Amino acid sequence: MDGFQEQLWVLLLGSLLGLELIGKVPPTLHTPLMSGANAISGITMLAALTLITRAGEDSLLLSLGSVSLGFALFNVVGGFLVTDRMLAMFRSGRKRSGGSR
């Protein structure tokens, strides 16, 4: 029960942190932020890994864990890379086209 109570505290504090972190976001960053946060939600890959490591020799569980890991990693790898691709495009104009006006 103690472990569970501790987990509830973690849930509460994590939620409050999440509410505080996104205060004022410029609209430019809404899409990248959503995509980045989405990549983080792929953290279930840790649960999938745990499932695999606890599965022992049970091949049904191993394959279920592996499929689950694959989906989570698709989310994580794809999410972070696509966010990076978007953010790489935001460059300041002053550096490249200074004096063009």
Partner 1 sequence: MSSAEVLQGGLDLLAVALLALGIKGLSKIRSARAANRLAASAMGLAVVGLLINAHPTAVTWIWIAGGTAVGGVLGALTARLVPMTAMPETVALFNGCGGLSSLLVALGVMLAAKGEGLTPSLLVLISVGLSVVVGAITCTGSVVAMGKLQGWLTTPGWMMRRWRHGCNIALATGVLMAAVLTVVGSSDALWPLVIGASLLGIGLTLPIGGADMPVVISLLNSYSGVAAAAAGFVVGQRLLIVAGAMVGAAGLILTQVMCAGMNRSLTAVLFGGALGVASAGSKEHSEYTNIISCSAEECALTLEAAERVVVVPGYGIAVAQAQHTLREVARLLEKHGVAVTYAIHPVAGRMPGHMNVLLAEADVPYEQLKEMDVINSEFPATDVVLVLGANDVVNPQAKTDPDSPLYGMPVLDVQEARTVFVVKRSMGAGYSGIKNDLFERPNTSMLFGDAKQVLSNVLGELKVLGVGQ
Residues 59-78 that bind partner 1 (CB under 8 A): 60-78
Torsion of CA 35, 6, 68, 78, to 10 degrees: 20
According to the binding rule CB under 8 A, does residue 2 interact with partner 1?
no
CA 76 to CA 38: how far, in whole Å? 8
Between residue 34 and residue 53, which ones bind partner 1 under the rule CB under 8 A?
A: 34-53
CB of 99 to partner 1, least distance (A): 11
According to the binding rule CB under 8 A, does residue 24 interact with partner 1?
yes
CB of 48 to partner 1, least distance (A): 6
According to the binding rule CB under 8 A, does residue 28 interact with partner 1?
yes
According to the binding rule CB under 8 A, does residue 99 interact with partner 1?
no
Q: Do 18 and 10 form a contact (C-beta atoms < 8 A)?
A: no
Query: How far lies 59's CA from each of 5, 33, 39, 71, 73, in Å?
Result: 34, 38, 28, 18, 20
Residue 24 is classified by DSSP as -
According to the binding rule CB under 8 A, does residue 19 interact with partner 1?
yes
According to the binding rule CB under 8 A, does residue 91 interact with partner 1?
yes
